Every structure is written in C-alpha cells, then in structure tokens.
Amino acid sequence: MFYPMKIVPGIVLLIIAIISTSLFAANPEVTTEKELEGKNVAFLITEGFHDAETMFPLGFLQNAGAQITVIGVEPGTYKAYNSNVTAVVERSVNDVTPADFDALVIPGGHSPANLREHPAVVNFVREFIQSNKPVASICHGPQVVIATGIVQGRTLTAVGGIQNEITEAGAVYVDKEVMIDGNLITSRTPPDIPAFSLAIKELMRN
C-alpha cells in the first residue's frame, strides 16, 4: 500500500494552490479531472532535496489522481536544503521495483549528488529507464539519470551547471524549459516546474 508524502498540511494546500494557479494561467486547457486515477508515481529523494521541485510536481500529480510514494536509500525523515520543509521517505529502493510504479520523478537540489553514490539507487533508475516508463528529472535530478551510464545519444536539459556532465556522458544538452526524449523528461530550474509537471502528466496519459 502506498502513502502520500507527509508534510505540513498547510504547506500542501499552499503548494497545490500555487501550482494550480500557475498551470491554469498558462494553460487554460488544463482540467481538474482525475486523469491519473489508478497510476502510481515514485518520487526519489534523500537529504538536501529541493522543496519546490519536489512539492509542486507532487501536489499537481496527486491532484490529478496519482498515488504518490516517496522512495530513497532508507526510510526516514529528510530535510530540504533550501528551507525547513521535511519529507518522509517511506520505502527503500531495495524494497520496490519499477513494476510497482507507472512513473519516476527525481527532483533536484543536493539530493541527486547523494543518491548517485548508492549503487542500489542507480540500478533502480537504470531499470526504470529500460522499462520505458516515464522518468522525469529536474535541475540537478539528471545527475542520477546520467549515473546509469545509458544516456548516450539521448537529449536532456538541466540546470546549466551540469551541462558538462551531460555531454561527457554522451548525451546532447539543450537549454529549454522541458525536454522529452522518449520516456525521459527533463527540465532546468524552478520556473520550469509548470511545464515539467504537465509533461509528466501528459506522458503518463499516453
């Protein structure tokens, strides 16, 4: 059984309101229907995750009907690097498989640099990419995708600071708010979150 991220309820409501307002303003065609009902999405984080890059997409996908499970190296409570927001990692990557989920989201912050140091995490992400299910990463999140060693020839975007890491891995770097290459969805920084969130939902619907 999967459980939603445990954070302060008031923050959840604020996050959902902000992301919904942004999305409706920029995309009048967005509906409030539970288009992702029955879908399971994993959010992969550890200590030092970016609060907005985690909470905004999570709230948006949850509003669309998706069931969210927060996974990581070990269950426990972890803090964002850029605020006092905390999140509960409910399950270890050792206790789940890509078959349990319909999509994987990897937020940015300092978390990805920590996650990529764990072989079990890298193996999980590699298997997820190979499953051809959506794998979405934003800002520094693509660092974990790169660590899988299977991005040669793929086209990614990310925060500019890891452009060299992307190209050194044999991938093509582009500077745009959201890049979709097959089942890989990537975005750059927090201003791209609305486009990033929509891209995840749309790819999950296909």
* Contact call for residues 43 and 107 (beta carbons, < 8 A): yes
170 phi-psi bin (left φ>0, alpha ψ -120 to 50, beta other): left
- Nearest alpha carbon to residue 162 among 178, 150, 144: 144
Active site residue 182: no
What's the start-to-end Cα distance of the chain, in Å? 25
Contact 168, 149 (CB under 8 A): no
Is the separation of the CB atoms in 188 and 175 below 8 Å?
Answer: yes
Name the strand (E) or helix (H) holding 112.
Answer: helix 111-115
Residues whose CB falls within 8 Å of the CB of residue 174, separated by 6 or more in sequence, listed in order? 155, 156, 157
Place of tokens 């409706």: 24
**Which one of the listed residues 139, 158, 195, 199 is annotated catalytic?**
139
Distance CA 80, CA 46 (A): 9
Residues 6+ apart with CB under 8 A from 164: none
Q: What sign does the dihedral 126-130-133-135 (CA atoms) show?
A: positive
By annotation, the residues acting in catalysis are 139
